Chains A and B, each alone.
Chain A
């Protein structure tokens, strides 16, 4: 008779290659051997990709461009800026924390100031990134995978490299192209996930040895599992050569792989935070934090390596300032909440914050801002050099080129243009993905290896 613990042990012991579906094993030659659990002590962090949906405005936060108006000592405008990039703050009102310049908050709640005061010393900012597109879908794809080519998104590549068979290896929403290197899981209600993690128990938190808490006695479940383990074709009365229903090898393999690792989900029960645990979080109800709770707990439990989450409201073609500010507040407070929770759980993390693109350097007739390809990326986490800004843009948000050492060049000087491609190359190097089979299989275009993550 196999207990849950035996099941778990067995699933952890089986080599990854044996569990891989057929199609996947073909794609993963030389997969780092036998990794079935994320190991929080290995130092390899949980990757959290946060996408600001709709195209954020970096000038409202991390690439500040204030109004050029002049004001008198009473704050009254004496010479207006005829074409302001932003209306709600002057160039002279740009703030600084740990050497990083940022925009003051539009709202009086001061979410920018609060976040920067707390985290600027740990932040790496890449400004003046040319996404080379104004299309939401293409910008989202380019941000997530650093290439317009047929590549998996970064979070999938990361999970696929280090733990493709984990129960919740990659939890993703939005654009989650994996190309099959790792299954993608959706997030959802944690109580339902726990119900699913203990499918044989009526109450997942009650005793599993109490027969009245089981749908079927353990001995019956063992017989059922015996019929389902290592599923293969059933023997048919009149087998047709190549009958599709006899030809489900890849599906059986997927099933068997999932069967082998599903019991690892049970570890989540002990690592998911209770509401009391979250009481000390500054933003316990923030929707971004809520998306990250299962990935964080999953990493703690050893069943998750990466997630891709998002928050919207940034496509501010109308009423830009107030709407963009509201979206930024959710974003910044969500990241704050995530960091607090990850640190409460004691796990290493790597947060990457992206958006589709930026917004135009000025307002349209509806007080909105339209699409503009120049944007920023932000990183916080394990080993990320803090208080660091790479790249930049002009007042009207033309991206500036850099040299090989990331020195910022004057406007009009051509050398290296920072794009999502250069950033993703640097991330792959920083996280040790370079040289893995998946890195070789899905290379990024270009040849520039820039020391973006080198302090």
Chain B
């Protein structure tokens, strides 16, 4: 271990103790009686490899892991929002065992591309608790000020699009520019996270970055770029220096500040509570903040009433560091309220006068130096990715609590040792038994995930595997649009806690989805040229289902592709039999008068570019009920528990 690490660890121990003591020990994992173990773990002669690991807490023989194919399937979907390719399926299906290094290398390979960005953006929305509620129209643009974003509605300017005598194409362009600008402003922090990861920068930049991250649309909104009619704005993410106010990552993101506003009497306490909880692993409301009536009506209860000061001594100094930002998220430097605690990270660690004008930059620097930052990030993303709760010290399963804490501390240290390379956190989580493992013995604690996918994740999975979502012809996603099924399904895009257990309402929506998309998925794939197909490699729309070998092989592949499972020969045979029965039932219905043609929503006449398809790829007539039999079979896969759970 090098000297720097030793120094950092020493600091970490000291700072941990002082902060935890000063904060009356609100950090749940340290409220347990194993602080001595904590010291050992963070001791100067300790490295990540010297953690006892899970074996301290559980018989590792009782943890089982997914198959290599199952593991790759889940990691690809979770990190990269990708379905496995045919070649990947063949490779991982051929492995009996996958080593830790190969697993992590595969995880690394999934941390790039548009799908990974979408995953990061999804987790970012969870971390900020609902920033995406401003995704419509100009909602986010309406939150930022003229002085910092003077051209936030630049696309309305004369000479670009005036909304008069516009051609249809101009309307579409106007809508696209508006949406892109709104997204660029709304997603500043999310894009910052992506930028940090993609450029190998320390993830502490989420707090400390003194620049904005965005694309040309953000620059246009900021008024530091002029629209050039001759070229489309570039959507590449970049660091944007901007001097209108002292920038400190998420802390000064105006949309974040509007999402978490303040009032004259709240005086930034909500912001403080939120930042401490999300980035400092300290939830001052996690305890029962009980008060009595007398305390409530004291002249200055937050300073004088013991029942109040227990929380406010932690919360109020950080609240003070937001002093220069008003309720509308605007930079308005001012003096802090004299009747409150001094601005700072804690009561004892106060803001120097010299940093008063850039108090949040000072806070960000000191938060990023605090060991709680690493732990906090690990815990948050552990929850987002595995779906498992971070257990509190009063959890009934003490062994699982201990195992989680061990994992958090070890991963936090690896995170720090890698100079806060966030990919380490993702890699450690998805390669852990908390993500890939399971314990089948009920007496042992519950490794592995057990949740119904949220509608957002279900939509992402559907797109990753099939290349399309459940959407209207105009593109409205039925699962993620807040006016569609999102609310019934209990999604997360609004400030709802996502429903992650099954109920019959959710199942009914899933059945509706399976009915509506199974046939288009099948027909779209048959309409593709053979080299571009994702699902049907060995059969065409007119391949007779009586051709057993290729049909069985297709059944096998579809289960691998959609569910990440390789069926036994017996299981394939059973399913083949039912598929044939489905076809027979369909043919009987045709004989009784049902149309020989697939329904209108399932027909394919043109390719993605609008060109007429060659006759052999047009999907229209289905006299033998082959296309629809495959659609019915796909409906079964979409309604398997393995599809919509993880």
**Does B175 interact with chain A (Cβ within 8 Å)?**
no
Which residues of chain B are near A241, meaning CB under 8 Å? 64, 440
State which residues 167-201 of A face B: CB under 8 Å.
167-168, 173, 176, 180, 183-189, 192-193, 195-197, 199-200
Nearest-Cβ distance from residue A65 to partner chain B, whole angstroms: 13
Q: Is the CB of B586 within 8 A of A167?
A: no
Bitwise interface map of A from 132 to 173 toward B, beta carbon under 8 Å scored 1, else 0: 111101100000000010000000000000000001100001
Q: Is the CB of A187 within 8 A of B488?
A: yes
**Does A211 interact with chain B (Cβ within 8 Å)?**
yes
Which residues of chain A are near B70, meaning CB under 8 Å? 243-245
Which residues of chain B are near A138, meaning CB under 8 Å? 285, 288-290
Q: From the candidates A211, A223, A244, A374, name the one contacting B578 in the complex (CB within 8 A).
A: A223
Bitwise interface map of A from 250 to 289 toward B, beta carbon under 8 Å scored 1, else 0: 1110110111011011000000000000000000000000
Chain A residues within 8 Å of chain B by Cβ, number: 84
Q: How far is the CA of A371 from the CA of B305 in the complex (A)?
A: 15
Q: From the candidates B288, B438, B564, name the one contacting A133 in the complex (CB within 8 A).
A: B288
Q: How far is the CA of A259 from the CA of B566 in the complex (A)?
A: 25
**Does B109 interact with chain A (Cβ within 8 Å)?**
no
> Could you show 5 A-B contacts with beta carbons less than 8 Å apart?
A188-B487, A236-B565, A239-B568, A254-B502, A262-B504
Q: Is the CB of A237 within 8 A of B569?
A: yes
Chain A, Cβ-Cβ closest to B266? A317
Binds A, one of B521-529, B533-541, B636-644: B636-644
Q: From the candidates B266, B438, B499, B586, name the one contacting A186 in the complex (CB within 8 A).
A: B499
Q: From the candidates B263, B265, B504, name the one contacting A258 in the complex (CB within 8 A).
A: B504
Given contacts A138-B288, A223-B582, 9 further A-B contacts (CB under 8 A): A168-B504, A215-B518, A216-B632, A240-B67, A242-B438, A245-B67, A247-B440, A258-B506, A361-B297
Chain B residues within 8 Å of chain A by Cβ, number: 87
**Does B519 interact with chain A (Cβ within 8 Å)?**
yes
Nearest-Cβ distance from residue A227 to partner chain B, whole angstroms: 5
**Does B114 interact with chain A (Cβ within 8 Å)?**
no
Contact A236 to B567, CB < 8 A, known contacts A212-B595, A242-B439: yes
Contact A240 to B564, CB < 8 A, known contacts A224-B636, A262-B511: no
Q: How far is the CA of A228 from the CA of B578 in the complex (A)?
A: 12
State which residues 456-511 of B face A: CB under 8 Å.
483-485, 487-490, 496-497, 499, 501-509, 511
Q: Is the CB of A219 within 8 A of B589?
A: yes
Bitwise interface map of A from 333 to 367 toward B, beta carbon under 8 Å scored 1, else 0: 00000000000000000000000000011001110
Q: Is the CB of A364 within 8 A of B264?
A: yes
Nearest-Cβ distance from residue B429 to partner chain A, whole angstroms: 16
**Does B516 interact with chain A (Cβ within 8 Å)?**
yes
Which residues of chain A are near B65, meaning CB under 8 Å? 240, 243-244
Which residues of chain A are near B437, meaning CB under 8 Å? 244
Chain B, Cβ-Cβ closest to A169? B503
**Does A329 interact with chain B (Cβ within 8 Å)?**
no
Q: Is the CB of A223 within 8 A of B585?
A: yes
Q: From the candidates B290, B505, B565, B595, name the one contacting A185 in the complex (CB within 8 A).
A: B505
Q: How far is the CA of A188 from the CA of B509 in the complex (A)?
A: 12
Q: From the candidates A227, A228, A398, name the one contacting B293 in the complex (CB within 8 A).
A: A398
Q: From the candidates B292, B450, B483, name the one contacting A250 in the complex (CB within 8 A).
A: B450
Q: Is the CB of B289 within 8 A of A235?
A: no
Which residues of chain B are near A370, meaning CB under 8 Å? 265
Q: How far is the CA of A370 from the CA of B291 in the complex (A)?
A: 14
Q: How far is the CA of A391 from the CA of B287 in the complex (A)?
A: 28
Q: From the candidates B291, B488, B593, name the one contacting A134 in the complex (CB within 8 A).
A: B291
Q: How far is the CA of A368 from the CA of B65 in the complex (A)?
A: 57
Q: Is the CB of A255 within 8 A of B502?
A: yes
Q: Is the CB of A373 within 8 A of B485?
A: no
Which residues of chain A are near B67, meaning CB under 8 Å? 236, 238, 240, 243, 245
Q: From the candidates B448, B484, B592, name the one contacting A192 in the complex (CB within 8 A).
A: B484
Chain B, Cβ-Cβ closest to A369? B265
Chain B, Cβ-Cβ closest to A231? B641
State which residues 419-447 of B face A: CB under 8 Å.
436-440
Which residues of chain B are near A215, meaning CB under 8 Å? 515-516, 518-519, 599
Contact A186 to B487, CB < 8 A, known contacts A220-B585, A236-B565, A262-B511: yes
Q: Is the CB of A242 within 8 A of B440?
A: yes
Nearest-Cβ distance from residue B275 to partner chain A, whole angstroms: 16
Chain B, Cβ-Cβ closest to A178? B501
State which residues 110-136 of A face B: CB under 8 Å.
130, 132-135
Q: From the candidates B484, B499, B564, B582, name the one contacting A220 in the complex (CB within 8 A).
A: B582
**Does B66 interact with chain A (Cβ within 8 Å)?**
yes
6 tightest CB-CB pairs across the interface, nearest first?
Answer: A242-B64, A244-B438, A199-B511, A183-B503, A188-B488, A262-B504
Q: Is the CB of B581 within 8 A of A196?
A: no
**Does A30 interact with chain B (Cβ within 8 Å)?**
no
Bitwise interface map of B from 91 to 105 toward A, beta carbon under 8 Å scored 1, else 0: 000001000000000
Q: How far is the CA of A231 from the CA of B512 in the complex (A)?
A: 19
Nearest-Cβ distance from residue A430 to partner chain B, whole angstroms: 26
Chain A, Cβ-Cβ closest to B629? A220
Which residues of chain A are near B308, meaning CB under 8 Å? 134
Which of A200, A243, A371: most chain B CB closer than 10 A? A243
Q: Is the CB of A372 within 8 A of B296?
A: yes
Q: How far is the CA of A247 from the CA of B292 in the complex (A)?
A: 49
State which residues 570-587 of B face A: CB under 8 Å.
570-571, 575, 578, 581-582, 585-586
Q: How far is the CA of A183 from the CA of B291 in the complex (A)?
A: 33
Chain B, Cβ-Cβ closest to A141? B288
**Does A407 interact with chain B (Cβ within 8 Å)?**
no
Nearest-Cβ distance from residue A293 to partner chain B, whole angstroms: 14
Q: Is the CB of B293 within 8 A of A373?
A: yes
Q: From the candidates A219, A220, A244, A366, name the one contacting B64 in the complex (CB within 8 A).
A: A244
**Does A442 interact with chain B (Cβ within 8 Å)?**
no
Q: How far is the CA of A432 from the CA of B570 in the complex (A)?
A: 53
Q: How far is the CA of A173 from the CA of B495 in the complex (A)?
A: 10
Which of A185, A265, A360: most chain B CB closer than 10 A? A185
Q: From the candidates A220, A252, A255, name the one contacting B586 in the complex (CB within 8 A).
A: A220
Nearest-Cβ distance from residue B84 to partner chain A, whole angstroms: 15
**Does B594 interact with chain A (Cβ within 8 Å)?**
yes
**Does B645 interact with chain A (Cβ within 8 Å)?**
yes
Nearest-Cβ distance from residue B506 to partner chain A, whole angstroms: 7
Q: Is the CB of A219 within 8 A of B588?
A: yes
**Does A234 interact with chain B (Cβ within 8 Å)?**
yes
**Does B410 interact with chain A (Cβ within 8 Å)?**
no
Q: How far is the CA of A298 from the CA of B502 in the complex (A)?
A: 18
**Does B628 interact with chain A (Cβ within 8 Å)?**
yes
Which residues of chain B are near A250, meaning CB under 8 Å? 450
**Does B132 interact with chain A (Cβ within 8 Å)?**
no
Q: Is the CB of B569 within 8 A of A196?
A: no
**Does B635 interact with chain A (Cβ within 8 Å)?**
yes
Chain B, Cβ-Cβ closest to A134? B291
Q: From the candidates B499, B595, B635, B640, name the one contacting A216 in the complex (CB within 8 A).
A: B635
